[in-house]
């Protein structure tokens, strides 16, 4: 929790250099009461509470959805007993996990073992602060939007390595090493595509990026997906594969790999600490899908709706924007679940060669295309 506050405070400090900071969800509201120094921090804390709620509720919904979807794919019902359609199943599981014994192996490195789930969770949750759900529903509206998101998501890798190392289990350490290699590798195409977005939109702020994608043919012509054909589309595919790997989802779930590494880095974790990893994974899925929507799929922009609609209709417009944004992200997350229950797992050397042989060059091609296109336009 403390690390959350510190990192968010830091983000807020960076964010305070934004030239027009009136767009944050709670920004500026408390400045009159607490002054310029503490005002942003108070608004950040309150924003954080909203984000935390969202971060905890969405993964709960997604664990339920995943199990229902898996059931549908595998011709079985899935959880349908607790509450209507089994919706409260995730809550029941959460309660169960909370009351389970928290086992810490005696031979483990106790401090690191206890710290690791917190770091994984904090990294993912803080990154939510930079994800806009509508023109003004964003906790920290900073020019460094996606830069900070990648930075905080990289904490995830540290937490996982820490967990694997501290568990004092050979399978865990193998999982942790896989995670380290995978995260570092797949951040390269991801980073290159962030650059592509930066070059195209002239900003690293996700709100600005979405604003840049307003209008165009049928209201979707300016989406990155349809820009620089076919490079925008290729970029999206590369980005999606890379976020699958970043979120440790099948077919890139090597760090966990039940059938190979038992459970990989979280083999030794139980109870609420295990659920931290679980929550972080689902939160990361949603977060990265949200980023993909903001960069490639026009954020909350919908076909045939002018970009000013979201801003001119006050709360109503904002609400519709949130719904549109969530809906698009949900589609991407759904595809992740679908893939998980369909595809086998890739081998570790194939994961690496796939990244360096195909994804990275493709991402570079997209970046070059964006650069040349932007150049010729000017």
- For binding to other proteins (CB under 8 A), which residues are involved? 70, 73-76, 170-171, 174, 177-178, 250-251, 253-254, 257-262, 341-350
Sorted by sequence, the CB contacts under 8 Å of residue 327 that are 6+ apart come out as none
| Of 214 and 253, CB closest to other proteins | 253
CA-angle at 332, arms to 329 and 335, nearest 5°: 150
Comparison of 91 and 184: residue with beta carbon closer to other proteins: 184
Tell me how far apart the alpha carbons of residues 189 and 225 are, in angstroms, rounded to a whole number: 17
Q: Which is nearer to other proteins, 181 or 322 (CB)?
A: 181
Dist CA 231 CA 366 (whole Å): 5
Among residues 254 and 362, whose Cβ is nearest to other proteins?
Answer: 254
Are the C-beta atoms of 3 and 122 separated by less than 8 Å?
A: yes
Q: How many residues does the chain have?
A: 378
User: Whose Cβ is closer to other proteins: residue 327's or residue 356's?
Assistant: 356
199 in Cβ contact with 289 (< 8 Å): no
How buried is residue 346: exposed, middle or buried, by Cβ count under 10 Å (0-12/13-18/19+)?
A: middle
Which C-beta is closer to other proteins: that of 249 or that of 328?
249
Minimum CB distance to other proteins, residue 27 (Å): 44
Q: Which is nearer to other proteins, 46 or 181 (CB)?
A: 181
Query: CA nearest 309: which of 294, 329, 324?
Result: 324
**Cβ–Cβ under 8 Å, residues 225 and 218:** no
Min dist CB 72 to other proteins, Å, is 11
Closest CA to 242 of 108, 359, 118: 359
State whether the Cα torsion 342-191-231-330 is positive or negative: positive
Least separation in angstroms between residue 40's CB and other proteins is 45
CB-wise, 46 or 73, nearer to other proteins? 73
Least separation, in Å, of the C-beta of 191 and other proteins?
25
Question: Smallest Cα–Cα separation from 194: which of 238, 255, 259, 254?
Answer: 238
Residue closer to other proteins by CB (options 39, 78) is 78
Q: What is the DSSP string of 326-364?
A: HHHHHHHHHHHHHHHTT--PPPHHHHHHIIIIIIHHHHH
CB of 165 to other proteins, least distance (A): 14
Shortest reach from residue 203's CB to other proteins, in Å: 37
Tokens representing 78? Answer: 């899935």
Q: How far is the CB of 334 from other proteins (least distance, A)?
A: 16
Least distance (Å) from other proteins to the CB of residue 344?
4
C-alpha–C-alpha distance, residues 331 and 296, integer Å: 14
Instruction: Answer yes or no: are the C-beta atoms of 160 and 179 closer than 8 Å.
Output: yes
The least distance separating other proteins from the CB of residue 283, rounded to whole angstroms, comes to: 23
């Amino acid at each position: 929790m403390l690390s959350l506050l510190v990192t968010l405070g830091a983000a807020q400090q960076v964010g305070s250099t934004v030239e027009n900071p009136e767009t944050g969800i709670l920004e500026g509201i408390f400045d009159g009461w607490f002054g310029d120094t503490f005002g942003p921090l108070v608004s950040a804390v309150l924003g954080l509470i909203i984000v935390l709620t969202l971060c905890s509720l969405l993964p709960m919904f997604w664990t339920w959805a995943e199990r229902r979807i898996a059931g549908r794919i595998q011709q079985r019902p899935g959880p349908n007993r607790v509450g209507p359609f089994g919706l409260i199943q995730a809550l029941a599981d959460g309660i169960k996990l909370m009351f389970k014994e928290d086992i810490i192996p005696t031979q483990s490195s106790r401090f690191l073992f206890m710290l690791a789930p917190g770091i994984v969770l904090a990294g993912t949750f803080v990154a939510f602060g930079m994800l806009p759900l509508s023109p003004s529903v964003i906790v920290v509206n900073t020019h460094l939007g996606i830069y900070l998101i990648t930075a905080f998501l990289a904490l995830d890798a540290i937490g996982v390595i820490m967990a694997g190392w501290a568990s004092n289990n050979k399978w865990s350490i193998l999982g942790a090493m896989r995670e380290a290699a995978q995260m570092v590798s797949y951040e390269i195409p991801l980073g290159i595509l962030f650059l592509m977005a930066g070059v195209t939109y002239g900003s690293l702020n996700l709100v600005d990026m979405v604003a840049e994608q307003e209008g165009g043919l049928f209201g979707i012509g300016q989406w990155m997906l349809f820009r620089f054909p076919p490079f925008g589309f290729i970029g999206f595919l590369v980005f999606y594969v890379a976020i699958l790997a970043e979120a440790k989802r099948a077919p890139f779930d090597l760090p966990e790999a039940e059938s190979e590494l038992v459970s990989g880095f979280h083999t030794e974790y139980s109870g609420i600490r295990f659920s931290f990893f679980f929550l972080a994974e689902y939160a990361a899925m949603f977060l990265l899908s949200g980023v993909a929507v903001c960069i490639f799929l026009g954020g909350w922009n919908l076909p045939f709706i002018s970009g000013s609609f979201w801003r001119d209709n006050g709360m109503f417009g904002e609400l519709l924007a949130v719904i549109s944004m969530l809906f698009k992200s949900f589609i991407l997350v759904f595809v992740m679940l679908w893939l998980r229950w369909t595809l086998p797992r890739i081998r570790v050397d194939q994961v690496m060669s796939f990244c360096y042989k195909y994804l990275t060059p493709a991402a570079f091609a997209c970046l070059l295309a964006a650069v040349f296109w932007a150049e010729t336009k000017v």
